Amino acid sequence: MRIFRSRSRLEQIDLYTRSALYVVPWFFLVLEAGGLVSLAGPRPLPRALAVSLIVVGALQATFGIGLIRRALDRYLRKETTALWGRLVFSFVLLVLALCLFARLLAVSDGNLGQLGSTMFMGLTVAPLGALCLVVRKRTYFGLCTAGSLVATVPFGVMGADAPALTGVAFGALFVSGWVALMARVSGWMLSIIWELDAARAVQSRLAVAEERLRFSRDMHDILGRNLAAIALKSELAEQLSRRGSDTASAQMAEVQRIAQDSQRELREVVRGYREADLHTELVGARGILAAAGIECRMDDTAADELPRQVQSALAWVVREATTNVLRHSDAGRCAVRLRQREGLAVLTVENNGVRPAAPDGAGSGLAGLRERLTALGGTVSYEYGSNETFRLSAKVPVASPAAGAERGSAPLETSEVPARSQGAAPPDAREPDGLTVDRTGA
């Protein structure tokens, strides 16, 4: 049970469906084995035939687990290895069991027909279930129709009358349809579930690709035009300087102005790419969780009162928390609460359905959140509660220096524009338009 609960919801459905097909043969075998031996009587031959039939049934049920698993994997296109040898061996066991049962009916005085029919429903699950998963439905029912006629041969050899043979033929057809309905529908449902999971993964990748395309397009529109102008004017300034013209300095000043404009526009693009919108993230989280069948309650009345940079930091918390709920839990409900108390913006995300915790350091999502919030003087923490609940809490000072600075233009980080060890301008050196003079050569 611990292994079952440690799996994702999709893997649990897959395992449950497969296990049901594995257990059915054993269920019918155990249900009828005692009665079969009892009705066979004390005579050695009927009892030996009954025991042999049970042994063949147990062998079929054991061997059928691997056969059904491979047939399902082949149906779901997870495995392409040939399984016809295993399938032939399973049908050989089925024919052997059929012959033993026909002989047992002929030499036994008891009424074994009902018990044997119930047991054979379990014996046919592995071979017929695997067959209907690897061939077309029309081919399957054609083979089963021919097989129902062949199934009457052992009983005819043992002296069964025409009504009994007719019952055997129609019983074989009924069992063939029952197995096809159980196995084929199970495979069909699993294929739909896995396709939906793959579609969700593709949707996530498309969203990332779309965002990268948007960023690259913005970068191209800004830098492409400006770099072309810089190259053209630099070439013109070079030609003018060779001629000794005084206008070369004016062209270089224009190059400097275009470079500064490019730097300012690049900052705006990077800031817009890095800063998430809290309202957008909350609305998106509600929609994504609802689409996943998770009841979502939100209390975000304090969101509009927060500074923009605090909202951006908390938006990343909402994004990461939503991702964790979908990826690392089987939640049925999730609550998001945003409060402002004692000069702190407190965001709490709590969900149920938590699977066993991953070891520390297994992921980098929370570490990244800590880095973002630490820059604003904030903290992030999490705890596991009772009833398989998980709570993520983020606290950010509302009136922190970083939050107050967001009203102005945010400077580029040191990692983006490294300063030279010599010749760098002082921090307060500014052009008339308010831009910081950057002499890094970037």
Measured from the Cβ of residue 157, the count of other Cβ atoms closer than 10 Å reads 12
| Cβ-contact 314, 278 below 8 angstroms | yes
Domain boundaries, the chain: 2-200, 212-274, 278-405, 411-442
Q: b/e map of 91-111 (b: 16 or more CB within 10 Å)?
A: bebbeebbbbbbbbbeebebe
Q: b/e map of 395-421 (b: 16 or more CB within 10 Å)?
A: bbbbebebbeebeeeeebeeeebeeee
| Cβ-contact 132, 180 below 8 angstroms | yes
Tell me the pTM: 0.53
What's the CA gap between 410 and 397, in Å, rounded?
18
Residue 309 has pLDDT above 80, yes or no: yes
Query: Per-residue pLDDT tens for 128-151?
Result: 999 999 899 899 999 999 998 998
Residue 301 has pLDDT above 50, yes or no: yes
Q: Which of 227, 35, 233 is nearest to 119 (CA)?
A: 35
Does the domain at residues 278-405 carry the CATH identifier 3.40.50.300? no
The confidence band for 435, taking pLDDT boundaries of 50, 70 and 90, is very low
Q: How many residues in the chain?
A: 442
Measured from the Cβ of residue 307, the count of other Cβ atoms closer than 10 Å reads 21
Helices (H), 329-441: 365-374, 401-405
Task: Quote the mean pLDDT of the chain.
Answer: 78
Query: Per-residue pLDDT tens for 178-196?
Result: 999 999 989 898 888 888 8
* Mean pLDDT of the 272-277 span: 63
Higher pLDDT, 213 or 413: 213
What's the CA gap between 154 and 47, in Å, rounded?
19
